[in-house]
Amino acid sequence: MAGKPRVLVAMSGGVDSSVAAAMLVREGYDCVGATMKLFEDGAELPDRPCCSLDSTSDARRVAEQLGIPHYVLNMVDHFGRDVISDFVSEYAAGRTPVPCVRCNTFTKFNDLVAKADAIDAEFVATGHYARAAEGRLLRGVDHSKDQTYFLWGIASGVLKRLLLPVGSQTKDETRAIARELGLPRVADKAESQEICFVPDGDYMTVLRREMAADAPALVPGPFVLPDGTTVGEHEGFARYTIGQRRGLPGGFDEPMFVVAIEPATRAVVVGPRRDLHGSGLVAHSPNWLGDPPRVGARVGVRVRHRAPISSATVLGINESEVEIAFDTPVMAIAPGQSAVFYDGDVVLGGGFIRESRRAASAPALAGARPAAIPRTAPAAAGTRTHDTRTRC
């Protein structure tokens, strides 16, 4: 009887991708392991659950234990262009990107499929907590670990070739399988919770290295109220994000939050919690994994990785934008985060948030079918929230 098809398995050296590879081997697939090299040799990256030299060594050891070939794929140039350069330019523009979305959309899966084609592999596999079934992307069974927020930008053609073995189980079950299979080094390995190319957990390190010292995002500017009143001075608007409380001027009768960033004047706008409520949003560069929703369709929308999925109505849609209105206001809708659209557990697609709507607006867009994100799509408009720093 012929064996199952060949699969190229992305192996980071962590427990999830190691168990994904082990499960596929156990099921009889012809597996080939691949670890992505994202940084030049000598880059200052301490040991962490992914993207370090030690993690690459862990992946190689797991592959040897499983009896499968292992390769290192050099993605340094692609990652630098698609992710790191975008990260810096977005902060310079007063936005904060979600690097994992950029990586998955423009680098990781494209390069994995190209390598799979080169070795005649029918499928690619990763350790993401999500499910792929009949050409559809679904939330992982373990909703607390669901990673579909980071996967909406992959091409539908990639989705048809994608295997996600751990998406149908919980994290505890994954660790138990690692112990059962005799993979003790990765079984209890900590999860990566930081941006992989930020060596010390402080993203300002990267910005100071890549930007000119007098870049507007790094030099002092005013804290202002929504009416324009100046209430203090900050040390650079790149240090702030929508919804942030820490590091703001005091002396107000109620808690204040960052409600907007205005790079043209270097102003960080602060206001009370009520100014963070948005009743809708517009997202650009949408990517649909199947048929896009129609105007008037009811969808679920997630605006941050850890945010709840909120009920909404599609107000307008075309090839470049989609506009929705929420049933109830949503807090801290940050331009540049992803807006991911769901029908129950099924991921419909997503887009990069361009702006938040303070009040429900009339449909602004025509009803044309949107196109997939091109590789040269506009840079992801981004606003950093703490929950973007999570394994993707």
Q: Is 103 annotated in the active site?
A: yes
Would you state the structure tokens that stand for residue 155, as one six-digit string? Answer: 């091409």
Out of 50, 51, 100, 103, the active site residue is 103
3-state secondary structure the chain: CCCCCEEEEECCCCHHHHHHHHHHHHCCCEEEEEEEECCCCCCCCCCCCCCCHHHHHHHHHHHHHHCCCEEEEECHHHHHHHHHHHHHHHHHCCCCCCHHHHHHHHHHHHHHHHHHHHCCCCEEECCCCEEEECCEEEECCCCCCCCHHHCCCCCHHHHCCEECHHHHCCHHHHHHHHHHCCCHHHHCCCCCCCCCCCCCCCHHHHHHHHCCCCCHHHCCEEEECCCCCEEEEECCHHHCCCCCCCCCCCCCCCCEEEEEEECCCCEEEEEEHHHHEEEEEEEEEEEECCCCCCCCCEEEEECCCCCCCEEEEEEEECCCEEEEEEEEEEECCCECEEEEEEECCEEEEEEEEEEEECCCCCCCCCCCCCCCCCCCCCCCCCCCCHHHCCCC
Q: Are 116 and 161 in contact (CB under 8 A)?
A: yes
Q: Is 31 annotated in the active site?
A: no
Write down the residue that tokens 């990517």 correspond to: 287
Out of 31, 51, 196, 392, the active site residue is 196
Would you state the structure tokens that stand for residue 177, as one six-digit string? Answer: 């399988």
Active site residues: 103, 196
